[in-house]
Amino acid sequence: MNILSLFDGMSCGQLALQRIGITNYQYYASEIDKYAIQVTQHNFPDTIQLGDVKAVNAERLPKIDLLFAGSPCQGFSFAGKQFAFNDPRSQLFFEFVRLLQECKPKYFILENVRMKREYLDVISKHVGVEPILINSALVSAQNRQRYYWTNIPNVTQPADKGLVLLDIIDANVTSFLSETTAMRSRTQRNVRSITDKANSMTASQYKGAQANGVTIVSCRDFVDRDKAITYRKLTPVECERLQTVPDDYTACVSNTQRYKMLGNGWTVDVIAHILQGIK
């Protein structure tokens, strides 16, 4: 089985394949971020790195059976400025379209963020299928709504595992934020009880020493401090768990890079659920 993954990141696609028991494959990855490549090669040293997607040529590849892509989403996202196809990053979507047409894979999966209907329609027209909207909250402790375009048959909503932050929190972590630091970030959106779901991870949410804009976990009843509320941000391992990535999968790079690539990554168990249709 030959697999081509565009905008591969840290190879969540390979994790999903292995999660459903598919291990006999050759994996070609197009990625330019050196830290994401480092994580991929550390965990999957047989990965064939192809570099920039614009330089990928189907004629130089074997017959591709499965095509993965999670093209950059900044130009589509409701959280961004929504320049859509005028944004150079969003135009990389058409590199996926080019390789979809050139490779003619048996199966494909394209992932992207929630966006305006007009953008959805353009993507669906080029890809030839309508998307399914799946919230990672069904298989993880994170609210993360994403569209998936695929020709894999019989894709339905995954079963709800009922996971919350308490299920992924490391009880051994005791480095809580000071009250002053927590106050700087304590909006209703950023503070989550350990009995709730986390907010959707982003690539930039852990920038800065003060943890502004991140999910601050309210740890009431979690530590024995006379039932006081204490606050802290999620650790890299806890963020891996939010994305259903194995513990310490990204540990070969700095925490800054770990947070970034996890925010950019896929929820592995959602992709594994979709891939069940080809098993």
Catalytic center residues: 73
E strand spans, 104-230: 107-113, 132-135, 145-150, 191-193, 216-218
141/182 Cα distance (integer angstroms):
22
- In a 10 Å sphere around its CB, with 0-12 CB exposed, 13-18 middle and 19+ buried, how is residue 239 labelled? buried
Measured CA to CA, the distance from residue 115 to residue 120 in angstroms comes to 7
Question: Could you give the residue ranges of the DSSP H alpha helices within the chain?
Answer: 12-19, 34-43, 93-103, 117-127, 179-185, 236-242, 255-264, 268-275
**Tokens matching residue 61:** 């590849």
How many separate helices (H) and strands (E) can be counted in the chain?
Answer: 8, 10
Residues 248 and 240 sit within 8 Å (Cβ to Cβ): yes
